[in-house]
Amino acid sequence: MISINKSINNLKKKLDHNNLPKHIAIIMDGNGRWAKKKLLPRSAGHREGVKRVREIVEECGNIGIDFLTIYAFSTENWNRPKDEVNYLMSLLIEFLNKELETLHKNNVKINVLGEIDALEENVQDEIKKALIKTKNNSKLTLNIALNYGGRKEIALSLKHIIKDLNKGNISIEEVDENLINDYLYTKGQPDPDLLIRTSGELRISNFLIYQLAYTEFYFTNVNWPDFKKKNLYKALIEYQQRNRRFGGL
């Protein structure tokens, strides 16, 4: 334990706290692979993955990250076996029940990206309770992408823009990038500076398609249940070595 803490402290010292990403997005991949390697059921991987969520949220708050978006359940995940989907939803409820008070105490604001109206009523109830309780918190905004799809988000934003155009609430001349941002789930938030994807997959899987235009990508072979504080610091240190030109020189 002492050597682990020493290693983390050494990584912390390498961080430039004046050059931290304001917004980190994470595709938490590899729960099933982690479980398979250990000859455990997939559910064990998902449960261990929840522990990493708790750890990474806490650490992001500690070091001063403003926004953290985690990809919890995609619109495509409904294609998984029903038992697994039900288990994932029960884990979400369990996480909110166990962690809500701590998150609130730590000034974390919970926000949900996605169509929660399509979820079971008991899941919706827990989400709404968390949203209401933490709505005035300001240290870290935790976006939980739930029943989320990037293409679906863009399609929904277009529908809402067209409705407002038809009602005369906006004019066609007003439609630009800033206005589109105001119709996305992430309205009022900066785009992610850093995207982390675990488990070695090299794709974004329909995640924050519009918002990731100039995001720095960090891919790691580490499965999500093994992605701990030291791995977060390694990702941040690599991010700080990038030259973000945004199309310039």
Active-site amino acid positions: 29, 77
Task: Let me know: does 219 contact 51? Beta carbons within 8 Å.
Answer: no
Gap between the Cα atoms of 167 and 73, Å rounded: 34
Place of tokens 């996305």: 184
- Among residues 204, 75, 80, the alpha carbon closest in space to that of 152 is found at 75
Return the SS3 of 117: helix
Q: CA-based diameter of the chain, in Å?
A: 64
Residue 153: both structure tokens together:
């988000």
Q: How far is CA 195 from CA 93, 109, 202, 203, 230, in A?
A: 26, 20, 11, 11, 17
Place of tokens 């790691």: 220
Place of tokens 């969520």: 53
Alpha helices in 16-149 (DSSP H): 31-37, 42-63, 82-105, 121-134
